[in-house]
Amino acid sequence: MAYDIFLKIDGIDGESMDDKHKNEIEVLGWRWNIHQESTMHAGSGLGSGKVSVTNLEFEHYIDRASPNLFKYCASGKHIPQAILVMRKAGGNPLEYLKYTFTDLIVAVVSPSGNREGEIASRERI
């Protein structure tokens, strides 16, 4: 299935030209994990433990969002809200996943370059 991914970050514009996601960051891939530590002992049922939540990571082509992402990371500036949307691509696009994150900071900026036919360099945030 072909899909589009967009990330709208308060105070940071991307280069998306999409009508519904104009000036948002076009995301190439992302990852976010929530892990429930749990145990199950015979006769005791399932016990819940501590929840581990990882940082949201995403990758995009270096664009006009990049300098601000770098600045926000270097300064520790807080971001009020970011919204990640996944959408089925094609003639009748359908937004099927939406995560809203609040009170964020940019923890890591990792730009990289590649001359192997890539249209632009990427960075992982």
Full-model pTM: 0.84
Q: What is the reported pLDDT for 43?
A: 56
45-102: pLDDT as tens digits: 566 678 888 899 999 999 999 999 999 999 999 999 999 999 998 788 889 999 999 9
Q: What is the reported pLDDT for 92?
A: 85
Nearest in space to 123 (alpha carbons), one of 53, 73, 51, 81: 73
Share of the chain above pLDDT 90, in %: 66
Instruction: Tell me: pLDDT of 40 over 80.
Output: no
Q: What is the mean pLDDT of the chain?
A: 89
Q: What is the reported pLDDT for 119?
A: 72
In the chain, the domains with their CATH numbers are: 3-124 (2.30.110.20)
Sheet holding 3-9, edge to edge: 94-104, 79-88, 3-9, 25-31, 57-61, 122-124, 110-112
What sign does the dihedral 71-75-77-82 (CA atoms) show?
A: positive
